């Protein structure tokens, strides 16, 4: 493995042989952009050797034609002007590779989403803009150099952090796919929140039993090593071969080293802790949903509170979520409407006479959980809808019982004062405090404190740290089945990189031009991934960027007072030439 | 009366279509801009986009170069707090903006020709509103080349 990546000597910019393909997209582009005029107007300067339009550039036939053109004309650059680069960048990188052209000598130009579709009312202007965009693509391609992905070996071993339902299921999945697993759990017991739950929605399965069956599955698999009462305290090495330090026992205890190819973070969530006085929190008889659920789970008949039978309960929903009562949490916590309604049904079963009042903002027993809501209503639960401008108030009456006052939107905004024995605050999922882990793994956390994936739809368990995956409720509020699903996605993603035994890293990383570097050190603090270091040869000092550690964000580029850093794929020369072409008004 | 140093004169423009360079981010704001196209929203053909991994990587010199190459405005479509690379991306991007604006003022270019806003991956409508509003705000300023000449500053980046 080499640590620096030097472009492998591209031909002189003036001597390029570039092929340009402008796509009709079956009319999606050519109905609004005169694609033939684009071809006629592009600024070739002699280095555009092939320029064609195609009905569908991404079709097999056109792909084959491009391969043939590249080979017959010895092209050393390729420009495809069609749709968004999100759709076919890998398609055309593949076309280039099949023709023997370095995939990084190809530039995608977006003339559909960012041109034809937004200028459907002005063909002339859309055509002129498309021409400028294609010229910018040609300009950029003149400055490209062949790049080779960094190949790194990967160890067939995954570290799973967090032994909740997501981490346990992921550990089993990883072992079954043939990988070694080390599972690190901070607590002494495995199972996270679910181990403490009785009846769960849907299907009324018991949480403790679910966890017991997963733990039995873990024990049956010798490929899994479990470390409890343990925490990850250090990470060294790079993607494919991370050397993780795991401390077993209290701070100060010894740590062991585990070498792994990937890491799955499944550290879960914490329950939102209401502030003193928030919806009566702190008053006798005001409890949170997790505490109340534990009471109901352990009851065998009517609930008791301080020696007295509980005759009525009021639930206040969305505490700590959706900005309720001015709280900071903005997201919907997903699990809580269904969990509360399920708990209410469970309680009606134990005590059919109990009065239950649900003070909610919107009832989100989505998807397959909806029948639970009907079931709760049939069992006698009353639902009252409040507006966030008029949140409910909780007070203690002189006789010691509680009163909740609510303005019900469903009965012409009638103000109701309901005397109850217990008030349950339906608390949100909050991010778990994990500062040390965040620091060790460089985990990207969002403004809400949960961990961020690269892309919620397309790359839902990968982080920008290569080989570090996230799963379960540490990503944001999730039900247990959603947590398990993301745990299994992390299994697939780990297997995809570890089973081959090697992986390729994107070569679009930052480079220091040593001659321009004055070793001022400004860039050293610019990289949160510690990819930049100083090196020296004799008296000369300069900064180097580790290709394996660089995430390719370019954040260090403007921090260099000497402009000595370039991001490959977005070099100063490439961007400058694009700016100049885009500024032109083509004929 | 003291004349302000190097301010742009107001230009009248009847058919002036401002050219705006947008810096977007590959994972977040560019998909938002794509979505405006998928929804067939409309904005001026003077708007042209360059995608980068992250707006914390924009060189201030690129902004100046755009304004001195014929763009009338530069819009940085940043990730706000959503950046997957850098937790302090918003702070870094703001620093780049103020460096660029300082350099613009020195060259007599109205600082209002540079704008930044966070555009999320589904922010098609906010993006469209931003660039339509920006274009309208650039019309009274007139073409950047003409005003630069009038202000008598020809400094090159
Ligand atoms: C009251 C209540 C009722 C619920 N009812 C239901 C229901 O009926 N149905 C349903 O589908 N969902 C329900 N849920 C949601 C369910 O609990 C979650 O979806 C599930 O717990 C998420 O699993 P997880 O593994 O991601 O996280 P967790 O359960 O939080 O597990 C995370 C584990 O990681 C460990 N950990 C944390 N940090 C570290 C670290 N740094 N190092 C090592 N280990 C660490 C923790 O100790 C914990 O064991 C309910 C939740 C609550 C609060």
Which ligand 1 atom is at minimum distance from the Cα of A434? 41
Query: Nearest residue CA, atom 21 of ligand 1?
Result: A193
Q: Please state the three-class secondary structure of A2-47 as a single string.
A: CCCCCCCCCCCHHHCCEEEEEECHHHCCCCCCCHHHHHHHCCCCCC
- Within a 10 A sphere around the Cβ of A497, how many other Cβ atoms? 21
What is residue B2's predicted lDDT score, i.e. its pLDDT?
Answer: 43
CA-based R_g, chain B, Å: 16
Residues across chain B: 157
Q: Going by DSSP bridges, is the β-strand pair A565-567/A540-545 parallel, antiparallel, or unpaired?
A: unpaired
Ligand 1 atom 30 nearest Cα:
A268
- Nearest CA to B26 out of A528, A458, A531, A557 is that of A458
The ligand 1 atom at the shortest distance from the C-alpha of residue A437 is 41
Q: What is the mean pLDDT of residues A329-350?
A: 96
Inform me whether the pLDDT recorded for B82 exceeds 80.
no
Chain B touched by A553 (CB under 8 Å): yes
Under a CB-based contact definition with an 8 Å cutoff, are residues A230 and A436 in contact? no
First-to-last C-alpha distance (Å) of chain A: 50
Q: Evaluate: CB of A184 within 6 angstroms of ligand 1.
A: yes
- Strand runs (DSSP E) across A261-341, as ranges? 262-265, 269-271, 286-288, 304-305, 308-309, 312-319
Topology adopted by domain A278-428: FAD/NAD(P)-binding domain (3.50.50)
CA atoms within 13 A on the CB side of A404: 31
Cβ of residue A428 lying under 6 Å from some atom of ligand 1: no
> Over 50: is that where the pLDDT of A6 sits?
no
Q: Closest to A121 (Cβ–Cβ): which among B42, B66, B85?
A: B42
- Which 8-state DSSP code applies to residue A222? T
Higher pLDDT: A278 or A448? It is A278
CATH architecture of the region A2-147: 3-Layer(aba) Sandwich (3.40)
Average pLDDT of chain A is 94
Angle at B31 between CA B28 and CA B37, to 5 degrees: 150
Query: Would you tell me which CATH number, out of the four given (3.30.70.1230, 3.90.1150.10, 3.20.20.70, 3.30.70.20), belongs to the domain A510-568?
Result: 3.30.70.20
Per DSSP, chain A holds a count of helices (H) and strands (E) of 12, 32
Look at residues A188, A193, A189, A187 and name the one whose alpha carbon lies nearest to residue A166: A193
Q: Which tokens go with B138?
A: 């650039």
Phi, psi dihedrals of residue A113, rounded to the nearest 5°:
-55, -35
Query: How confident is residue A586, by pLDDT bands cut at 50, 70 and 90?
Result: low
How far apart, in whole angstroms, are the C-alpha atoms of residue B110 and residue B152? 14
Domains for chain B: give ranges and CATH numbers. Answer: 20-150 (3.40.50)
pLDDT at position B146: 55
pLDDT grade for B4, boundaries at 50, 70 and 90: very low
Q: How far is CA A562 from the centre of its chain?
A: 35
What is the C-alpha to C-alpha distance for residues A340 and A527, in angstroms, rounded to an integer?
Answer: 45
Task: Decide whether any atom of ligand 1 lies within 6 Å of the A19 Cβ.
Answer: no
Residue A549 pLDDT class (50, 70, 90 cuts): confident
Nearest Cα residue to A424 out of A302, A343, A316, A309: A316
Separation in Å, CA of B122 to nearest CA in chain A: 12
Residue A59 tokens, joined: 């079709």
d(CA A385, CA A100): 65
Are B37 and A114 within 8 A, CB to CB? Answer: yes
Q: Pick the residue of B27, B57, B89, B135 with the most A CBs within 10 A to test the interface with A by mutation.
A: B57
Q: Which residues pair with A431 in a beta bridge?
A: A269
| Least-confidence region, from A96-100, B80-84, B130-134 | B80-84
Give the residue-averaged pLDDT of A147-170.
96
Cα A477 to averaged position of ligand 1 atoms, centre (Å): 10
Task: Give the pLDDT band (50/70/90) at residue B8.
Answer: low
Q: What are the angstrom distances between the C-alpha of A493 and each of A90, A232, A265, A267, A497?
A: 18, 21, 13, 18, 7
CA B35 to chain A, closest CA, distance in angstroms equals: 7
Give A434's DSSP letter.
-
Report the residue from A86, A454, A582 with minimal CB separation from B21. A582
The pLDDT value given to residue B27: 86
Question: CA–CA separation, A493 vs A301, rounded Å?
Answer: 47
Task: Give A536 or A464, the one with higher predicted confidence.
Answer: A536
Q: Is B31 on the interface with A (CB under 8 A)?
A: yes
Q: Are A459 and A479 in contact (CB under 8 A)?
A: no
Q: Please tell me the distance from the alpha carbon of residue A117 to that of residue A159, in angstroms, as a whole number.
A: 46
What is the pLDDT at residue B157?
37
Pocket flag, ligand 1, residue A472 (CB < 6 Å): yes
Q: Taking 60 as the threshold, does the pLDDT of residue A36 lie above it?
A: yes
Please give the Cα distance from B88 to B83 (Å, whole number).
8
Verify whether the Cβ–Cβ distance A120 to B42 is below 8 Å. Answer: yes
The alpha carbon of A269 and the centre of ligand 1 are apart by a number of angstroms equal to 6
Average pLDDT of chain B to the nearest whole number: 86
CB contact under 8 A, A129 and B48: yes
B149 φ, ψ to 5°? -60, -45
Token pair 């103000």: residue: A415
Q: Could you give the 3-state DSSP secondary structure of residue A17?
A: coil
Instruction: Name which of A34, A11, A335, A287 is nearest A165 in CA terms.
Output: A335
By DSSP bridging, strand A308-309 and strand A18-23 are unpaired
Three-state SS at A508? coil
- Is it the case that residue A522 has pLDDT exceeding 70? yes
The Cα–Cα gap between B41 and A115 comes to: 11
Rounded distance between C-alpha atoms, residue A399 and residue A210, angstroms = 43
Q: How many CB atoms lie within 10 A of CB A37?
A: 18
C-alpha A264 – ligand 1 centre gap (Å): 15
A342 lines ligand 1 (CB under 6 A): yes
Residues in chain A with CB shorter than 8 Å from the CB of B15 are none
CB A268 less than 6 A from any atom of ligand 1: yes
Check A132 against B82: CB less than 8 A apart.
no
Q: Is A429 in the pocket of ligand 1 (CB under 6 A)?
A: no
* CA–CA distance, B16 with A507 (Å, rounded to integer): 42
Phi first, then psi, for residue A121 (nearest 5°) are -100, 5
| Binding site membership of A339 for ligand 1 (Cβ less than 6 Å) | yes
* Distance (Å, whole) CA A39 – CA A450: 49
CATH superfamily of A157-268+432-503: FAD/NAD(P)-binding domain (3.50.50.60)
Ligand 1 atom closest to Cα of residue A199: 8
Q: Give the span between the Cα atoms of A444 and A164, in whole angstroms.
A: 21
Query: Which pLDDT does position A311 carry in this prediction?
Result: 97
| pLDDT score at B9 | 47
Q: Which helix (H) or strand (E) holds A128?
A: helix A123-142
Kindly report the pTM of this predicted structure.
0.72
The domain locations on chain A are 2-147, 157-268+432-503, 278-428, 510-568
Q: Which two tokens stand for residue A157?
A: 């071993």
The model's pLDDT over A91-117, given as tens digits with 9 standing for 90+, comes to 999 999 999 999 999 999 999 999 999
Confidence (pLDDT) at B13 = 46
Write the secondary structure of B75-117 as one string of H (helix), E (strand) and C (coil).
EEEECHHHCCCCCCHHHHHHHHHHHHHHHHHHCCCCHHHEEEE
Q: What angle do CA A342, A347, A351 make, to 5 degrees?
A: 155
A339 is written with which tokens?
A: 């969990």
From first CA to last CA, the distance across chain B in angstroms is: 31
Distance CA A211, CA A4 (A): 47
For residues A476-493, average pLDDT = 97
Is A157-268+432-503's fold the same as A510-568's?
no
Those residues with Cβ within 8 angstroms of residue A457's Cβ, 6 or more apart along the chain or in another chain: none
- B23 in A contact zone (CB under 8 Å): no
* Other CB atoms within 10 A of residue A118 CB: 28
Question: Per the structure block, which two tokens stand in for A390?
Answer: 């008029």
Contact B139, B16 (CB under 8 A): yes
Query: Which conformational region is residue A432 in: left (phi greater than 0), alpha (psi within -120 to 50 degrees), or beta?
Result: beta
ipTM value, please give it.
0.89
Cα separation, A396 vs A46, whole angstroms: 86
| Per-residue pLDDT at A10 | 40
| Overall residue count recorded for chain A in this entry | 587
Contact B34 A114 (CB under 8 A): yes
Q: Using an 8 Å CB-CB cutoff, list chain A residues near B81.
A: 446-447
């Amino acid at each position: 493995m080499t640590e620096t990546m030097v472009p492998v000597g591209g031909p002189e910019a003036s001597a390029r042989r570039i092929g340009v393909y402008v796509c009709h997209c079956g009319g999606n582009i050519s109905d609004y952009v005169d694609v033939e005029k684009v071809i006629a107007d592009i600024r070739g300067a002699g280095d555009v050797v092939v320029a064609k339009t195609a009905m569908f550039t991404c079709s097999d036939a056109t792909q084959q034609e491009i391969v043939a053109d590249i080979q017959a004309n010895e092209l050393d650059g390729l420009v495809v002007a069609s749709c968004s680069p999100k759709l076919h960048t890998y398609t055309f990188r593949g076309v280039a590779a099949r023709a023997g052209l370095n995939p990084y000598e190809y530039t995608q130009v977006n003339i559909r989403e960012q041109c034809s579709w937004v200028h459907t009312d002005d063909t002339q202007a859309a055509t002129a803009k498309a021409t400028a965009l294609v010229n910018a693509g040609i300009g950029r391609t003149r400055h490209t150099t062949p790049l080779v992905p960094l190949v790194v070996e990967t160890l067939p071993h995954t570290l799973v952090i967090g032994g909740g339902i997501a981490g346990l299921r992921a550990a089993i999945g990883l072992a079954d796919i043939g990988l070694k697993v080390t599972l690190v759990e901070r607590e002494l017991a495995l199972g996270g929140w679910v181990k403490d739950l009785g009846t769960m929605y849907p299907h009324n399965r018991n949480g403790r039993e679910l966890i017991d069956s997963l733990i039995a599955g873990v024990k049956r698999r010798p490929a899994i090593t479990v470390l409890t009462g343990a925490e990850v305290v250090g990470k060294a090495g790079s993607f494919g071969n991370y050397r993780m330090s795991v401390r077993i026992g209290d701070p100060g205890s010894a740590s062991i080293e585990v070498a792994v190819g990937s890491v799955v973070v499944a550290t879960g969530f914490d329950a939102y802790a209401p502030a003193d006085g928030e919806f009566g929190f702190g008053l006798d008889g005001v409890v949170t949903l997790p505490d109340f659920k534990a009471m109901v789970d352990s009851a065998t008949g009517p609930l008791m509170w301080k020696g007295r039978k509980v005759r009525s309960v009021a639930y206040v929903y969305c505490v700590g979520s959706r900005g309720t009562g001015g709280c900071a949490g903005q997201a919907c916590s997903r699990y809580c409407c269904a969990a509360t309604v399920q708990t209410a049904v469970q309680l009606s079963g134990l005590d059919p006479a109990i009065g239950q009042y649900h003070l909610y903002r919107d009832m989100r027993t989505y998807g397959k959980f909806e029948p639970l809501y009907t079931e709760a209503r049939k069992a006698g639960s009353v639902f009252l809808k409040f507006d966030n401008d008029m949140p409910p108030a909780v007070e203690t009456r002189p006789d010691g019982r509680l009163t909740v006052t609510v303005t019900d939107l469903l009965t012409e905004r009638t103000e109701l004062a309901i005397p109850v024995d217990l008030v349950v605050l339906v608390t949100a999922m909050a991010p778990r405090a994990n500062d040390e882990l965040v620091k060790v793994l460089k985990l990207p956390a969002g403004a809400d404190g949960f961990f961020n994936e690269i892309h919620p739809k397309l790359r839902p368990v990968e982080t920008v740290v290569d080989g570090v995956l996230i799963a379960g409720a540490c990503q944001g509020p999730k039900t247990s089945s959603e947590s398990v699903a993301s745990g299994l996605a992390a299994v697939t993603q780990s297997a995809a990189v570890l089973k081959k035994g090697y992986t390729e890293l994107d070569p679009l990383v930052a480079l220091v031009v040593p001659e321009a570097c004055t070793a001022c050190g400004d860039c050293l603090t610019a990289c949160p991934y510690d990819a930049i270091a100083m090196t020296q040869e004799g008296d000369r000092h300069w900064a180097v960027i580790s290709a394996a550690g660089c995430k390719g964000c370019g954040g260090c580029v403007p921090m260099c007072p000497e402009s000595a850093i370039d991001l490959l794929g977005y070099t100063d020369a490439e961007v400058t030439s694009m700016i100049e072409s885009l500024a032109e008004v083509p004929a | 009366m003291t004349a302000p140093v190097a301010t742009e004169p107001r230009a009248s423009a009847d058919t002036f279509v401002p050219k705006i360079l947008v810096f977007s981010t590959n994972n977040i704001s560019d998909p938002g801009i794509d979505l405006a196209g998928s929804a067939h929203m409309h904005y001026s053909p003077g708007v042209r986009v360059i995608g980068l991994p992250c707006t914390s990587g924009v060189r201030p010199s690129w902004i100046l170069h755009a304004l001195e190459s014929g763009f009338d405005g530069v819009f940085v479509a940043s990730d706000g707090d959503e950046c997957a690379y850098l937790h302090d991306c918003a702070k870094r991007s703001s620093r780049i903006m103020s460096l660029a604006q300082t350099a613009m003022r020195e060259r007599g270019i109205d600082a209002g020709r540079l704008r930044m806003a966070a555009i999320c991956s589904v922010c098609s409508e906010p993006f469209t509103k931003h660039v339509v509003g920006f274009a309208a705000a650039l019309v009274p300023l007139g073409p950047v080349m003409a005003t630069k000449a009038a202000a008598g500053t020809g400094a090159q980046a």
